[in-house]
């Protein structure tokens, strides 16, 4: 049996307050990351068709830290890029700001500082 841990994080709509801190307006979904992956599945409440995932950027010269992909299959190697993510710093450390090309939305955030839940899974090797 193999043991793996999956963390679930809040995806929320937010705005920047007077002091520059991102303030949560409402939850709009969640993302799951497993400990052995550099990809996270994105579940946005109003989007039900296809699969969205967040992958860490490998190019050190890139201006963004993550790429958002869309795929209709369960294979996450063949996704189409539909947005980017930026790891925030300072008073907003622990947040990823998502910019969606297909929706024109840039006020969506992932809170990776605090997981909503951690789940341990056991699978046959």
pTM of the model: 0.85
pLDDT, tens digit, for every residue of 45-60?
877 677 889 998 988 8
Taking 50 as the pLDDT cut, the residues of the chain under it are 124
Q: Residue 124 has what pLDDT?
A: 46
- Residue listed under structure tokens 């994080």: 9
Q: Residue 41 has what pLDDT?
A: 86
Q: CA torsion angle for 61, 9, 15, 54 (degrees, to 10)?
A: 30
* Cα–Cα distance measured from residue 105 to residue 123, given in angstroms and rounded to the nearest whole number: 37
Q: Residue 104 has what pLDDT?
A: 78
User: What residues have CB less than 8 Å from 121, skipping those under 6 apart?
Assistant: 3, 4, 5, 6
- Residue listed under structure tokens 């793996």: 4
């Amino acid at each position: 049996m193999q043991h793996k841990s999956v963390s679930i994080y809040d995806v929320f709509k937010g705005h920047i307050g007077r002091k520059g801190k991102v303030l949560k307006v409402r939850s709009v979904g969640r993302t799951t990351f497993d400990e052995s992956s550099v990809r996270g599945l994105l579940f946005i409440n109003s989007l039900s068709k296809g699969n969205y995932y967040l992958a860490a950027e490998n190019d050190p010269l890139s201006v963004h830290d993550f790429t958002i992909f869309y795929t209709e299959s369960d294979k996450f190697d063949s996704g189409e890029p539909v947005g980017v993510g930026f790891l925030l710093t300072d008073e907003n450390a622990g947040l990823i700001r998502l910019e969606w090309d297909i929706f024109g939305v840039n006020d969506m955030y992932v809170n990776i500082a605090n997981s909503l839940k951690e789940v341990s899974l056991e699978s046959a090797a």
